[in-house]
Structure 1
């Protein structure tokens, strides 16, 4: 049965979004909730909904953010204003989202005011807005011509010369365990661009589904656990030693907190941005050899050839890692090429001390600030001996 009334779609709505949408005053519009993009897509096609706007409760680079907008475009659904309600918004992320066709981004704290003010106007004027919108601010990074030429030549020659090795490796992967020879995951690269990241499969099938059961083994998460503190009212260590009250206290009802300790608690509760598990039980025997020699990375030469990545750059991150790195401090690492090898790999590989999350982010930012073709050549020459170190990065 066709539904001709105008519909505003809510994706993954929480109580805050439901309440805000319920107060909207858009004549002739109904509000419908959908669990995710698949639910929306199926109902949109089956019921022929007349959707005039989409409100998605998601991080900008989350599965219901920019990637959902692209998926709906690929399926040829009507181009309607797509709004994201996010916990993390900054100028860099906003510029990327607007460039990718997002109508607007609202922070949850100003949600009610912004929806009432902006939503009806954008819906009414969407055709004019989308045809005349010009995004200002920081432009997306573009790989320099000389670096792109080097990437194409290098990846083409490498794929040609390594073709026998690629065939033997593919056969070994297939003989040890059932499943596809190649594996891809969605990764976030330059400018928060999401793409398919190719590798030889080094884990058993459905390894990602087991990740939540192994997070207690995360090496990057160990440091965060030690920072957890009691939040039922406290002073920071410095103030305790001085025997004074905190100079920058936060208050709620009958409790007070030290702002310094509150920041540490928030950081600890957010969890580690990177995930690395020593002696990961999900890895196959062939996969362990591939990882220790970095041969599982060889299919990424295809990513380089088609322009998703470069030979040298910051490592593209899984969505669950990248969505935690949206502050201005950490977003800098995404204003640089995404690469197969980079500064943090050659700096820490093979060393006895484990690399902290902060150290890795610092090295990523350092590369973003100083990358050049000459420095890339230096990192490539440093990568070759690093490949023979025992440490698996």
Structure 2
């Protein structure tokens, strides 16, 4: 905790870089509030922060040997047999647009890893994602469009004398807001945001990209991920980091107890119904598959059934 006579931007930045929890500027809040805050910080530092809910913390994940053996054999064989097709598709991608024919991004399964796909979008289109996510995200609703409202008064500061604040004052976007009220609103915004992003009629997709996405050919480089052990043939979809961060903060983190996979329960169900699925349904299906690993209830035949269901589901119109 750092207390300053007045606010200085360079001092505030230095405190932030040194991981100072609280930065107070005169006039200070009541002494009892400061004591209460100090007690809270002391207790908080003695606690261990877990990414999983309490009931899942003792659950251990171990990939069954039969599943790993199946993954290596199938992925290795498929890469050899499909290599001519891969070469043709890569040539088509390169002829249509400049840039690398493959795409690498950080994804999260049981752990973060480099995720491989054939490029189906224009080079550099990632910079458009934030704007498109606001305008065309399938999982967004009007109720989920939330931002921090700097004009709303803090309820705790409102009961204090004029000029006093319940916590350090932050200066953001030409606004001043106390640290407590900023973080309260920030948590509410995080809860209201969709954990998943799927762009409707994505303008970033190329002509070749639309074909390989509809037929899932763009997923073939993930066979390399399978051989490396990052993924399995069947599992929960590996998530971009921004989606995974949201899910580890709610009761849907159970999905991370299952391996990341090329295909799985969610993908099969989604394609089978033509691409329409709510966010809650997607979370439920991910957790349902994870249940097979929480209690060591893995079934090779269940995975095989999902693989067989994947084949007809590939021939659909929607881009997943």
Cα offset for 1:33? 4.8
Cα offset for 1:312? 0.2
In the other structure, the counterpart of 2:137 is 218
In the other structure, the counterpart of 1:178 is 98
Alignment of 1:75-90 (within 5 A): none
Alignment of 1:109-258 (within 5 A): 112-113=41-42, 138=58, 140-190=60-110, 193-215=111-133, 216-222=135-141, 224-225=143-144
Question: In the alignment, is the contact (CA less than 8 A) between 1:224 and 1:268 conserved in 2?
Answer: no
Question: Residue 282 of structure 2 aligns to a residue in which SS?
Answer: helix
In the alignment, structure 1 residue 279 sits paired with structure 2 residue 201: yes
**Residues 199 and 334 of structure 1: CA distance in aligned 2, closer, same or farther (over 3 Å):** same
Q: What CA RMSD, in Å, does the superposition of the two structures yield over aligned residues?
A: 3.6
**Residues 352 and 163 of structure 1: CA distance in aligned 2, closer, same or farther (over 3 Å):** closer
Alignment of 1:261-300 (within 5 A): 266=188, 270-300=192-222
Question: In the alignment, is the contact (CA less than 8 A) between 1:316 and 1:339 conserved in 2?
Answer: yes
Cα offset for 1:337? 1.1
Q: 1:378 aligns with which of 290, 293, 305?
A: 305
**Residues 352 and 387 of structure 1: CA distance in aligned 2, closer, same or farther (over 3 Å):** closer
**CA distance in structure 1 between the partners assigned to 2:20 and 2:72 by the alignment:** 38
Question: In the alignment, is the contact (CA less than 8 A) between 1:200 and 1:296 conserved in 2?
Answer: yes
**CA distance in structure 2 between the partners assigned to 1:200 and 1:180 by the alignment:** 9
Q: 1:341 aligns with which of 263, 280, 290?
A: 263
Higher relative contact order (CA 8 A, sep 6+): 2
Unaligned 5+ segments in structure 1 are 1-19, 24-30, 37-53, 58-107, 119-136, 234-250, 255-261
Structure 1 stretch 380-389 or stretch 216-225: which is displaced more?
216-225
Cα offset for 1:340? 0.3
Question: Residue 317 of structure 2 aligns to a residue in which SS?
Answer: coil
With structure 2 as the length reference, what TM-score do the two structures score? 0.69
Question: In the alignment, is the contact (CA less than 8 A) between 1:148 and 1:310 conserved in 2?
Answer: yes
In the other structure, the counterpart of 2:283 is 361
Cα offset for 1:299? 0.2
**CA distance in structure 1 between the partners assigned to 2:202 and 2:74 by the alignment:** 32
Question: In the alignment, is the contact (CA less than 8 A) between 2:226 and 2:233 conserved in 1?
Answer: yes
Question: Residue 221 of structure 1 aligns to a residue in which SS?
Answer: coil
**CA distance in structure 2 between the partners assigned to 1:218 and 1:144 by the alignment:** 36
Structure 1 stretch 350-359 or stretch 177-186: which is displaced more?
350-359
Question: In the alignment, is the contact (CA less than 8 A) between 1:350 and 1:391 conserved in 2?
Answer: no
Question: In the alignment, is the contact (CA less than 8 A) between 1:220 and 1:272 conserved in 2?
Answer: yes
**CA distance in structure 2 between the partners assigned to 1:109 and 1:296 by the alignment:** 53
Unaligned 5+ segments in structure 2 are 4-11, 22-36, 47-56, 160-183, 293-297
With structure 1 as the length reference, what TM-score do the two structures score? 0.57
**Residues 391 and 350 of structure 1: CA distance in aligned 2, closer, same or farther (over 3 Å):** farther
Cα offset for 1:208? 1.0
In the other structure, the counterpart of 1:26 is none
**Residues 225 and 32 of structure 1: CA distance in aligned 2, closer, same or farther (over 3 Å):** closer
Question: Residue 306 of structure 2 aligns to a residue in which SS?
Answer: helix
> What per-residue deviation string (whole Å, max 9, x for no partner) do you get for residues 130-175 of structure 1?
xxxxxxx536522111100000000000000001001111111111
**CA distance in structure 1 between the partners assigned to 2:38 and 2:279 by the alignment:** 29
Question: Residue 147 of structure 1 aligns to a residue in which SS?
Answer: helix
